[in-house]
Every structure is written in structure tokens, then in C-alpha cells.
Structure 1
Amino acid sequence: MRTMATFRLLGGGERTAAHVTQLLGIQPSDAFEVGTPVGVRSAARHEGCGWLLSSAGSPESEVELAEPLESLLDNLEPVADRLWQLVEAGYWANWLCFLGSHAAEHAAELDRDLLHRLLKLPGDLWLDVYGDDEGEEGDR
């Protein structure tokens, strides 16, 4: 199983990622501002800002999905009131979770305590789930 979790705050108009960093006092894993390039080779520009705090730089192997979420919660729970202020000011929040699993692996489990912790902070829970089996297409 491979997992990763990212808490995202997105905004448009006058909202900035720099304001989020200043208010929270937490350095993001990634951030972008309105008008910055979307990619190195793209002429497209971001229409809004984004502030992202990720559990890891890339998906981690052999880590249950609860672990990266708990890590993010440990960092964000102390600033819960400020996160809600940002959402009330027009930022949009979500928890984007990545889960790659082989067919023979077990299901991902999020216990009630973890879900209760998530509910105290803004943002919906998004699960990006995919099969991690290489060559599966050719085996059919």
C-alpha cells in the first residue's frame, strides 16, 4: 500500500498563500500565488492561490492512510481556529488523500477517533484511490 495526504487551502481574488503562511505560522510543503506559472513548460497561470501541507514529498510505501492524516492533524489542530478564520474569509479547504493498493492488500481503515479529529477542522475528505498493480492490463 502507498499513501500520502495533503491539506489544501485555495483562494482567489485578494487571497494569498503568503497570508495563510503568516497567519498559521506554518511553512507549507508547496504554495502558489495568483498568476504564477502552473508548470515549468506551460504557459498557463494559476487563477487562484494555493497553500498545501503534505505528509510526505511523495507517496510512502507500507504506511497506513491514517498515519499521514494523523501527522497533518498534529500540525494543524493547534491552529484550528485560524483555519476556520481563513475559510470564513473565503478560502476553500480539503484533505486530499492518495491511496495505491495491490488487489491482495487489505482495506484502508480510518477509525472513529481519526474521523472525529478531522471533523473539527475545515475541509472535505477526498480519497484518490487506484490500483498499484503493474502489468495488470496485459494479464486480462
Structure 2
Amino acid sequence: MRTGATFRLAGDHGGSAATVTRLLDLQPSQTFEAGERVARRSSAIRRGSLWLLSSELPPNGEVADHLHWLLDRLEPKADALWRLTDQGYVADWFCLAASQATEHAIELDRLLLRRLLALPGDLLLDVMGDD
């Protein structure tokens, strides 16, 4: 089983990832700025910014553990996160669950869901085989 979770803030309205870092006073896992090339060998230019905070837990745990890790860091920043979404940033919680097992449940209990609902962002679950 391979798992992970990332909180993402996209600034398609002209907002920058640097602004998010400054307002949250939190070091992101990765950032992308509008106007940058999408890839080294591509002429495509990124239209919006993207700020990512990914769980640093091992990739063989439970999705819920990754979300708790993110929430522990982001809950103290709740007011700033809501201000950013009020300014036009789009938030989401992107979760990965990849497994070859014939059955593996992703458990998100009510406490975890309550914590997620207190912060902006839709919950996205990417469930796939492990290959």
C-alpha cells in the first residue's frame, strides 16, 4: 500500500505562492509561480501559482494519518487560510491510496472529517492500483 496527502492552494487569479508562504509563515513542500515554465523542455507557461504542503510520514501508512499530520500544522493557520480563499485561492486536500490488495479500506472517522471541515478545501481521493 502506498499513501500520501497534500494540502494545495492554487492561485489562478494572480495570487502568488510566495504570498501564501508569507501569510501562513509555513514552509511549503513545493511551490510553483504563475509565469514559470511548466517543465524545462516545454514552452508552456504556468497560468497560476500553486502552494503545496505534503505529509512527511512514510508512504506505507494510512491516509488518515497523513491528513492528521497536515491538520496539526494547518489548524493553527485557519484564519489565514480562510482569508486566502476569500482572496480567490482555491484549496483542496489531495490524498493518494495505491494498493494491489484485493481489499483495503480508507477510514476517515468523524473526528477527522470535523477537523477537515473547519478548514477550506475539498477532499480529493485518488485511489488506484500500486503499479
* TM-score, with length taken from structure 1: 0.88
Q: Where does residue 72 of structure 2 map in the other structure?
A: 74
| Structure 1 gap segments, 5+ residues each | 135-140
Distance 2:92 2:26 in 1: 17
* Deviation by residue 1:17-56 (Cα, 9 ceiling, x = unmatched): 1000000000110001111111222221110001000013
Distance 2:2 2:66 in 1: 11
Q: Where does residue 137 of structure 1 map in the other structure?
A: none
The match for 1:92 among 87, 90, 93 is 90
1:111 corresponds to 2:123: no
Q: Where does residue 43 of structure 1 map in the other structure?
A: 43
* Deviation by residue 1:68-107 (Cα, 9 ceiling, x = unmatched): 1000000000000100000000000000001101233421
Provide the aligned C-alpha RMSD in A.
1.5
**Matched residue SS, 2:83:** helix
| Structure 2 gap segments, 5+ residues each | none
What amino acid does structure 1 have at the position aligned with 2:7? F
Q: Where does residue 34 of structure 1 map in the other structure?
A: 34
Identity of matched residues, %: 57
Moved over 6 A (4+): none
Distance 2:41 2:72 in 1: 36
1:14 corresponds to 2:14: yes
Q: Where does residue 55 of structure 2 map in the other structure?
A: 55
**Matched residue SS, 1:60:** coil
State which structure, 1 or 2, has the greater radius of gyration over its C-alpha atoms: 1
* Number of residue equivalences: 131
**Matched residue SS, 1:10:** strand
The match for 2:63 among 59, 62, 65 is 65
